[in-house]
Structure 1
């Protein structure tokens, strides 16, 4: 066992988390295809949101990065390399490569734009003629997970910056005519409590998926959750060893799904039906169509399907569309039920919610 493994704080295993299936599925699909565009998790306090996200980051396989690079640059994928690494490779330099765990960056609520995006030292840039850049949290989050708790309390402009970077995979910092950009491809996970206010619809729409979580009501399940947490706190290593096989199996399933994803096909007729659902629900723009297509392919890859099935679409369509519907204060059913109802009409399949 390495020194890092010995000093690393034990993390509650992802496979031991009871319930909250919407959140777990949404997170797994975004890891398989980060282009889905992140997850917005809305629900009660104390429902294990941050525990689940840390568990996911710990579950993921280690990645190869260029040593001492502040952007976790990939040694092989040009889209995930900083300009310095690209220049070094072009010059034929031999770069040291290390293997490390996927990074999870927790964005503090009071973070400034400079802290998030990074800063340019203008005096150094003008005086010494070099681009002196101090990387921010987006640099650290490249190829990892960026978690924003209480995202609905974050400044709208900052949310916009995060969503822009998540969508483009790049962060650009400009100051006094000097511009620096670096790769910033990460899975964006936002969470919040609806009692503390909603995100503006324009921002909410840009999250790929929307998971709702509720406090578990079943007394026996609540007891099971409390007992598991107690076991983990008393003997972390023993608890982890009980779940090691399941963890390794799920990790292997994720790796296989990532490799399988480019080869999964979605029949044209099913794509038409997905768009028909979006049209009947009066979803603005095409983001809902695109995300549902991507999520359906990702779940097919996870389940080892070569072709997307109607059941694959059934399992993701509410998560992809419920937050894109226009709010009707007089409606008698919530947005998830409306999506389910229209899905059933178009696909001829009843969708349990």
Structure 2
């Protein structure tokens, strides 16, 4: 039997991606603080959604894991274990995936006959401490979307079969993407994504030419093109690492917290997720800017990404949901 060699395909550098600032910012903030709750990216076909998501995963530093551990567990969980370094996991969830493929399976026969919990890990186990990417998430079965969101929120995956239960860590950044022409997610599922980025096709002819040129040059000589961006990639990677360390020290004033909640209230946002995510994202952005105090500008930068998908849909409304968030923000914050 011929053993297939895994080919590592070159990944387009994150810092070489032109435009699409909303999507790039949302991804950066989620890898700085995964508790923001992931990001839903909606946009036209051919706008570089998949390229950008793979690029942010490739940019991230390696992580230390317990060698041969199926869940990428941290050495801190078992200090006496042998340590290995791996790239930050980036797992693609195929559209036709079954619940067993996603969550993992328990071999009931082995469990009953041998008395051991024979567990075959699924994609959630492989994605632990990394990124789980679901393209066309709006076409995925609602039940599976629910499972993904539950695991992303709790950091735990539980598999139960015939009275046997297995739990394992499943802490990952959930990234979903889709084309609005193919339908939206149900509002109650959409609300559970921390941020929502809207991606549009670039209209400026000069910018379009630049995008085409960058991609053509990358395809012609990937390694040379990647080496051109080495310094920028390294600088951004260091900024993300430093922001992760700094974020626990970042403070947000009571006045800003109150105003964020006033914006959510005026926009009639259900529940408190909008308030919580906006606070978290503002802190992550402040940390990314190497500051320990959240400013007005930090909140302004993230609030639309955090709230636009939580607004109730009104078919008669003419104003875009993002513009509506911005308008109420400016009113409450006296801009």
Give the structure-2-normalised TM-score.
Answer: 0.97
Residues 16-68 of structure 1, C-alpha deviations (whole Å, 9 max, x = no match):
00000000000000000000000000000010111001100000000000110
Once the two structures are superposed, the pairs formed by residues 228-307 of structure 1 within 5 Å of their partners are 228-307=214-293
User: How many pairs were matched up?
Assistant: 330
Corresponding residue of 1:226: 212
Secondary structure of the equivalent of 2:75?
coil
Counterparts of 2:217 and 2:237, CA distance in 1: 23
Once the two structures are superposed, the pairs formed by residues 116-135 of structure 1 within 5 Å of their partners are 116-135=102-121
Once the two structures are superposed, the pairs formed by residues 141-156 of structure 1 within 5 Å of their partners are 141-156=127-142
Counterparts of 2:181 and 2:284, CA distance in 1: 32
Deviation of the 1:96 alpha carbon: 1.2
Deviation of the 1:9 alpha carbon: 2.1
Q: Confirm or deny that 1:182 pairs with 2:172.
A: no
Deviation of the 1:7 alpha carbon: 5.7
Q: Confirm or deny that 1:317 pairs with 2:324.
A: no
Counterparts of 1:10 and 1:132, CA distance in 2: 36
Counterparts of 1:100 and 1:244, CA distance in 2: 20
Secondary structure of the equivalent of 2:166?
strand
Counterparts of 1:306 and 1:106, CA distance in 2: 35
Corresponding residue of 2:202: 216
**Compared with structure 1, are the counterparts of its residues 7 and 114 closer, same or farther at alpha carbon in structure 2 (3 Å cutoff)?**
closer
Residues 139-167 of structure 1, C-alpha deviations (whole Å, 9 max, x = no match):
00000100000000000000000000000
The two structures, once aligned, show a CA RMSD in angstroms of 1.0
Counterparts of 1:341 and 1:229, CA distance in 2: 37
Deviation of the 1:8 alpha carbon: 2.8
Secondary structure of the equivalent of 1:111?
coil
Secondary structure of the equivalent of 1:203?
helix
Secondary structure of the equivalent of 1:147?
strand
Secondary structure of the equivalent of 1:40?
strand
**Compared with structure 1, are the counterparts of its residues 158 and 7 closer, same or farther at alpha carbon in structure 2 (3 Å cutoff)?**
closer
Secondary structure of the equivalent of 1:179?
strand
Counterparts of 1:178 and 1:275, CA distance in 2: 43
Counterparts of 2:145 and 2:320, CA distance in 1: 26
Deviation of the 1:305 alpha carbon: 1.1
Counterparts of 1:337 and 1:249, CA distance in 2: 33
Q: Confirm or deny that 1:101 pairs with 2:87.
A: yes
Counterparts of 2:232 and 2:176, CA distance in 1: 27
Once the two structures are superposed, the pairs formed by residues 78-97 of structure 1 within 5 Å of their partners are 78=77, 94-97=80-83
Deviation of the 1:95 alpha carbon: 1.3
Counterparts of 2:307 and 2:130, CA distance in 1: 25
Secondary structure of the equivalent of 1:195?
helix
Deviation of the 1:332 alpha carbon: 1.4
Corresponding residue of 2:181: 195
Give the structure-1-normalised TM-score.
Answer: 0.92
Corresponding residue of 2:3: none
Residues 141-196 of structure 1, C-alpha deviations (whole Å, 9 max, x = no match):
00010000000000000000000000000000001110001000000000011100
Deviation of the 1:322 alpha carbon: 0.2
* Structure 1 gap ranges (5+): 1-5, 79-85
Residues 223-244 of structure 1, C-alpha deviations (whole Å, 9 max, x = no match):
1011111111111111011100
Corresponding residue of 1:64: 64
Counterparts of 1:204 and 1:7, CA distance in 2: 35
